[in-house]
Every structure is written in structure tokens, then in C-alpha cells.
Structure 1
Amino acid sequence: MNKKLLAVTLGILTAVGGFVDIGDLVESGVVGARYGMALVWVTVLGVLGICVYADMSGRIVAVSGRPVFDLIRERLGPRMALLNLAGSFLITLLTVSAEIGGVALAVELASGVDRLVWVLPIGVLVWLVVWRVGFEKMETAFGLAGLAIAAFAVAVFFLHPDWSSLGAQIAGLAPPADQALPTYAYHAVALFGSAMTPYEVFFFSSGGVEEGWTVKDLPVQRVNVLLGFPLGGLLALGVMACAAVVLFPAGVDVGQLSQIVLPVTLALGTAGVVVVLIGIFAATFGAALETGLSSGYMLAQYFGWEWGKRRKPRDAARFHVAVAGGLLLAVLVVQTGIDPVGLTEVSLIFSAVALPLTYLPVLIVANDREYLGEHANKRFSNILGFAMLVVIAVAAVAAIPLMIFTGAGQ
């Protein structure tokens, strides 16, 4: 019983760490400040989508003992899998750059020292943790610390909001009268992309292999999905609600991480800021670990290399070199001085574009009885999967035109 409880807890922390990253923090703050709670429905839709496809990915791993990307290459062929790899890998590199930039911003807020001073040390520290710290210890430590982001939710109550007004914003499902519909749609796509970021399913499935999931673990894996990702969604809604209560009435457009933290400062004072900065650091650092590992997972699984943190670096040298190379590229991108908040916005839009390349193959493999036998998708899973795929396709098609037409949401 204790072992199962530990497995559930670890899975929940993993899901939380994967859901609440710099993309969710920034975009939830941006839309809360601009639209109040009018885009809650997008977060709910994103949580539903990631739950549906994470469940498929976890089931694939538990039954086959192999990660999703490995089976995608075998099932769809090397050419189709290469297209999937190219899209997902480039988006993951963009995302890990944004995550490292987010960690640097958190340290800058805490120390007062310019973020560019911290970028290289952060990149080195991420690499050292990937190289030296065990998978379960890594996930537990940063997932648990990341729960400090719940300070946003606590702050909402101390701000004494007009609950009826927040409820009306949620029920309205539309932008305020002074906000353009195309810009509203742009931010809806970005918020959806933040919930469905491609690296999440690759990390989740590869992590399942790292932890040795089998068919006996299917119930635990499903509990992980159904508790972990919704909890991550609630934490993101806490960020949105803080911005909706403080920044939305003041007409503040979020462009800095300090603005997202401001409501916590007003509600909880210095102690609250310390707690929430710990949470932001842990969540973004944890996401940097996950995205960095995911870039290595993708390449290794496509090319058939030995991979995984469970293997010594000398036994999986190409995997570790790929992870280190991806982290180095990310550090170089952030070191140019590019705005991490702006980089995050761009990464979310391109994530939305790449979503079909990630999730259509997962749906195909999850329906293949040659791999999954009696555990292949049932009718209900397919209904949800196909419905979410339609939403994913609409978001992917609309993303770039909306970015161009709205000037990236301006």
C-alpha cells in the first residue's frame, strides 16, 4: 500500500511539474490581466486534452514497455516519424530556452542581479542535475517545491475579490467590450498551447519507462493523470485569478514576471513573495529539466541509441551529449538578451502549430491492438481523442495567421 501511495504521489508531482511551467505562468498572467477570467474555459479544455493523451501515452508504455516515440517510428515509418521529430524537437528546444529564461527571471527578482548573469550557471546546474541526480529524486524534489505556486491561490482569498464578478467573467466566455476578438482568439490559442506543450507526453511516457511501468501499474498511472494534471490546471487558474483581481481592473498589460507576482505581494507581503518565488524557481527549473531530457529522449528513441537516466552516462553517451547540446543551445539563445516573456509567447504559438504532429501519432498507436491488445483505446477514449484532435487542428491552423494579424497579441 505504501509503495502504491508513493507511486501516486510521485506521479502527481510529476504532472504538476510538467503542467505549471513558464508558459502557463506567463500566459495565465497575461490573459488574467487582459480578459479577467473569461478564458478559464481554455485552461479547462487544455487540462482535458492533456489528460486524454497522457493517459494514452502512459497506457502505451505500461503495456508495451516502450516509449511513445519509439513506437511512432516503428508504426508510422522513419519518414513520418522524422517529421514528428523535427517539429517536436525544435519546439522543445525553444521551450527549454524559455524555461531557462524563466529561472533566470525568478533569480533576478529574488537577488536584484541582472538575469543574464545567471543564465550560464543555471544551464550548468540543470545539466549537473540531469547527469547526477536520480530520476525519482529529481521529480520529487522539484515537483514538491513547485507546489509553492499555490501561494497564488491563497493570495486570491486575501485580496477579497468580488466573487460574483469573477463568476460573471467565467460565464461570459467572451472578451471585454474594449478588446478585439482576433487578439482574444490569439491568446486562447497560446493558453491552449501552454497546456498541451508537446514535450509533456514524451517526457511522461519516457519517464514511465525510466520507472519501469507495467500493466499492473495501469490503475496508478490513471490516477496520476486524473489527479496531477487537473491540480496543475488549478494552480494555473490561481495565477490567472490573481491577475484578474488586481491587474485587470487597473488595465495593466503584463510584460514582466514581476507584474505577475505583484498580486501576491499585495495580498501576502514579503513572506508570500518568498514562497511564490521558490515555487516559480522550482517549477521552471523542473520544466527545464523535463524539456532538456525530452530533447535527448526524442533523438535517442528515433535513432535507436541507448538512453535514460537509469543508465550510466558512459553507457548512454549519445543521449547525454544530446541533452547537453540542447541545453547549451538554449543557454546561448537566452544569453543574447532576448526577453524571456516574449520568447515564451512565441514558443507557445509554435507549440500550438506542432500539436497535430505530436498527438495524431499518439492516437494512432493507442488504437493499435498489435501493441496494446485488449488495452487499446475503447470507444470513449476515441471519442475524446478525436474531439480533442479537432480542437488541436483548429488551434494549429489558426496560430500563425492570428500571430501575424494581431502582431503577436498586441
Structure 2
Amino acid sequence: MKKLFAIALGILTAIGGFVDIGDLVANGLVGARFGMSLAWVVVVGIVGICVFAEMSGRVAAVSGRATFDLIRERLGPRVGLLNLAASMAVTLLTYTAEIGGVALALELATSVNPYLWIPVVGAAVWLVLWRVRFSLLENAFGLAGLALIVFAVALWQLGPDWSALWESASRPALPEGESRAVYFYYAIALFGAAMTPYEVFFFSSGGVEEGWTEKDLGVMRANVFIGFPLGGLLSLAIAATAAVTFLPQGIQVDSLSQIGLPVGLALGKLGLAFLLLGFFAATFGAACETGLSVGYSISQYFGWQWGKFVEPLRAARFHTVVLLSTIIGVGVLLTTVDPIMLTEYSIVFSAVALPLTYFPILVVANDRTYMGNHTNGRLANTLGTIYLFIVGVAAVAAIPLMVLTRAGQ
């Protein structure tokens, strides 16, 4: 019974925790502009994150050590440092965007300027990361993030032409007036949002935090192979509500309030209440995850004590990294940079960093020194190799497409 509860809780947490500010912005923007013609990218991204999250979780459960701890040892300090620099640049940018996302969610709830909320949010995130237990942090925000299911309910209530939505998703076509370069730019943005690097670092380190062993492999896989795809369906629901509401009117989405508007139209004030809870939980939970991921990765590379399973004073450098990252993120946002624009850039640059993120995981997951009899099988290696090719193409194309399309304009 206890194991079944752990599986159910883990799946629910994975669903609610999958959607962050990047998924909200990317799916809302793309749905309003391209309908469901880019739904295939979300599916490809979900399969990819499942493949590498399973490897990352298996490494943690079998070896009892987290990703960067092994990457530096297995690939050497120079390759490990390159991986760390690329991944942390993107994760820090994502952390900044998530803090901005929380501020935007609070603006919707209070009508107070988001830039006044940013220092408050930064302080709140740091206090939670410093004092709140890992299991409570992960489960509370993951479960509260389930409130975003209100998008699926709103989609049903809007009464769309389901056959037209399916036609758009299953037979993707370039919308009239859009260029192929812009189409593929947003395809890469969606892909980057689904396979954000911090997700696998947090998942692996979280497994160590929770003391996973080989006995927990079944629970871990259930979380990955059930929770993540259901979270992906939630992302598709966000895109579909935007497609139904905005695409026929030719309206482009450029704010968090617009992304939530279809829910208000379909479900009224009660729907908006659940929406605001979901926005806050998703962005605050993701801010906690990315903040921890920065501290995890840097501490693991340099061999420092890390994690919330130890007293803060014993992991002082870990908590200092988290604090400095928070100060940097708040400082960047207080320059009045647009959080939505920052989010768009963060998910595109995520795509650029993907090869350096996922190649080392594939190498470690095949090393019998760490994995014993739990190295990758043929299917995992085949899918891993295919996805390394895909992320390589996305990484090479991301910046040229950003320049060519002026960031999707």
C-alpha cells in the first residue's frame, strides 16, 4: 500500500510539476499562432525527456550518486567543466525567467506591478529552498500545479471542433502567412521547453535526496513514463485553448494574462481561481527546482557537500550558490527586462545546450563501473542515440533561426 501511494503521489507530482513558465509561454504562443500544427514537437519532446530522465533516475538509484558527481569523474574535469558551464548558463537564465513568472502570476492575482513583486519572490524562493524539506517542497508545489488541469476542462467547455483540432495536429501544415523559418524556430522553442536541462539534473539529484535504491526503480519509472506524458497532455491542452480562442481572430499571445484568458471565458471566476493557483504553483515550484539545480550541479562538480538532506551549515557552499543565483536572477529582472521575452530566450538557448547535457548521461548510463547490471539496454541506447542526433540538429539550427526570424517576429 505504501508503495502504491508513493507511485500515485510521484505521478501526480510529475504531472503538476512538468509545466513551468517555459511550457506556459511556448504552448500558449504557438497555439495562438500555429494552432495544433506543432503538437508533434511536444510529443517528440516528451519521449525525449522520458528517455533521459529514466537514465538519469536509474543512475541515481543504482549508484547512489547524482549526474554531475559522475560526469566529472567519468569524463574528466575539462569536459565536465564545459558541460557545467553550458548547462548552468541556461539553468540560471531559466531560474531568472521562473522568478519573473511567479511575479507575473502574482500581478494577475493582485494587480500590483510585477517589478514590485520580484524582490519579494526572490526572497521567498530562497527562504523556501533554505528551510523547507525536499519532500514537502516537491510534493506541495507539484500537487498544487495540478490546478492547471483547468485548461483541459476549459477546452472541453469551449466546445471546439475536435475533428479540426485532430486534423491540425495529425497533419501539420504551415499556416497561411507564416514562413518555414519561423515555423521551425518555434518548433525548436517548444522542443527546448519540453527538454529543459534542469529537469534531468533535478530529477537525478532529487533521487539522491530521497534515498532511492534499486528497489525504487519501479516507482521512478512510473513517475517518468506516466507522469511526464500526462504533463505533456496538459501542455497540449494549453496550446489547444489558445488555438480555439485566438487563432480564428488572428490574435497573437504576448502575456501570461492572455494565456489564461480562455479559462476565464469558459469557466468564469471559479476557473480563474484555479488558474491563478496553478500559475503560482507551477512557476514557484519550477523556480525552486531550477534554483536547486544550480546549487546541485555546481556543488556536485566541485565535490562540495550539497542537498537538503543535510543541515544547512554542513552544506554552506551549496546554499551560498543558491543565494547568489537568486540575487543575480532578481538583479537581472530589476533591469525591467520583459519576463516573457526572457522566457522565450531561455527555452531557445536550452535547445542549444541540450547535446552537452544529454551526451554525458548516455555515457554514464552505459558504464558498468557505476551501473553494474543496470546499464542501458538496446532500446534505451537506440532512442538515446536518435535523440542525440535530434538535439544536435536543434542546437545547430537554434541561433541562426533566432537571428533570421528576429526571434520569431
CA contact (8 A) 1:10 1:136 kept: no
Q: Residue type matched to 2:104 in 1? A: L
Spell out the pairing of 1:125-144 with structure 2 (5 A cutoff).
125-144=124-143
How many residues of Structure 1 are paired with residues of Structure 2 in the alignment?
Answer: 409
The CA deviation at 1:172 is 2.0
Task: Report what 2:328 is aligned to.
Answer: 329
Task: Report what 1:145 is aligned to.
Answer: 144
The CA deviation at 1:5 is 2.2
Tell me if 1:396 matches 2:408. no
The CA deviation at 1:13 is 3.9
Task: Report what 1:343 is aligned to.
Answer: 342
The CA deviation at 1:298 is 0.6
1:55-101: CA deviations, max 9, x gaps? 00011011100001111100000000000000011111100110011
Q: What is the rounded CA distance, in whole Å, between the counterparts of 1:14 and 1:190 in structure 2? A: 24
Task: Report what 1:188 is aligned to.
Answer: 187
Q: Residue type matched to 1:370 in 2? A: T
Q: Residue type matched to 1:171 in 2? A: S
Q: What is the rounded CA distance, in whole Å, between the counterparts of 2:210 and 2:403 in structure 1? A: 43
Question: Which SS does the other structure have where 2:177 is aligned?
Answer: coil
Task: Report what 1:15 is aligned to.
Answer: 14
Q: What is the rounded CA distance, in whole Å, between the counterparts of 1:298 and 1:179 in structure 2? A: 40
Tell me if 1:48 matches 2:47. yes
Task: Report what 2:23 is aligned to.
Answer: 24
Task: Report what 1:289 is aligned to.
Answer: 288
Task: Report what 1:364 is aligned to.
Answer: 363
Q: Normalising to structure 1: TM-score of the pair?
A: 0.98
1:128-185: CA deviations, max 9, x gaps? 1111111111111100110000101100011110111111111222221221110000
CA contact (8 A) 2:56 2:67 kept: yes
Percent identity between matched residues is: 62
Q: What is the rounded CA distance, in whole Å, between the counterparts of 1:60 and 1:408 in structure 2? A: 37
The CA deviation at 1:8 is 1.5
Q: Residue type matched to 1:132 in 2? A: R
Q: Residue type matched to 1:153 in 2? A: A
Task: Report what 1:101 is aligned to.
Answer: 100
Q: Normalising to structure 2: TM-score of the pair?
A: 0.99
1:184-203: CA deviations, max 9, x gaps? 00000000000000000000
CA contact (8 A) 1:96 1:291 kept: yes
Q: What is the rounded CA distance, in whole Å, between the counterparts of 2:332 and 2:5 in structure 1? A: 38
The CA deviation at 1:10 is 3.6
Tell me if 1:227 matches 2:226. yes
Spell out the pairing of 1:106-121 with structure 2 (5 A cutoff).
106-121=105-120
CA contact (8 A) 2:151 2:263 kept: yes
Question: Which SS does the other structure have where 1:141 is aligned?
Answer: helix
Structure 1: runs of 5+ lacking an equivalent: none
Q: What is the rounded CA distance, in whole Å, between the counterparts of 1:283 and 1:257 in structure 2? A: 13
The CA deviation at 1:17 is 4.6
Q: What is the rounded CA distance, in whole Å, between the counterparts of 1:187 and 1:270 in structure 2? A: 32
Task: Report what 1:85 is aligned to.
Answer: 84
CA contact (8 A) 2:14 2:231 kept: yes
Q: What is the rounded CA distance, in whole Å, between the counterparts of 2:214 and 2:195 in structure 1? A: 25
CA contact (8 A) 1:17 1:286 kept: no
Runs of 4+ in 1 over 4 A off after TM superposition: none
Q: Residue type matched to 1:38 in 2? A: S
1:105-137: CA deviations, max 9, x gaps? 010011111001100111111111111111111
CA contact (8 A) 2:16 2:148 kept: no
Task: Report what 1:173 is aligned to.
Answer: 172
Question: Which SS does the other structure have where 1:316 is aligned?
Answer: helix
The CA deviation at 1:18 is 4.2
Q: What is the rounded CA distance, in whole Å, between the counterparts of 2:36 and 2:263 in structure 1? A: 17
Question: Which SS does the other structure have where 2:211 is aligned?
Answer: coil
Question: Which SS does the other structure have where 2:160 is aligned?
Answer: coil
Q: What is the rounded CA distance, in whole Å, between the counterparts of 2:257 and 2:231 in structure 1? A: 21
Q: What is the rounded CA distance, in whole Å, between the counterparts of 2:332 and 2:136 in structure 1? A: 29
The CA deviation at 1:12 is 2.1
Q: What is the rounded CA distance, in whole Å, between the counterparts of 1:325 and 1:204 in structure 2? A: 22
**Over aligned residues, Cα RMSD in angstroms?**
0.9
Q: Residue type matched to 1:341 in 2? A: I
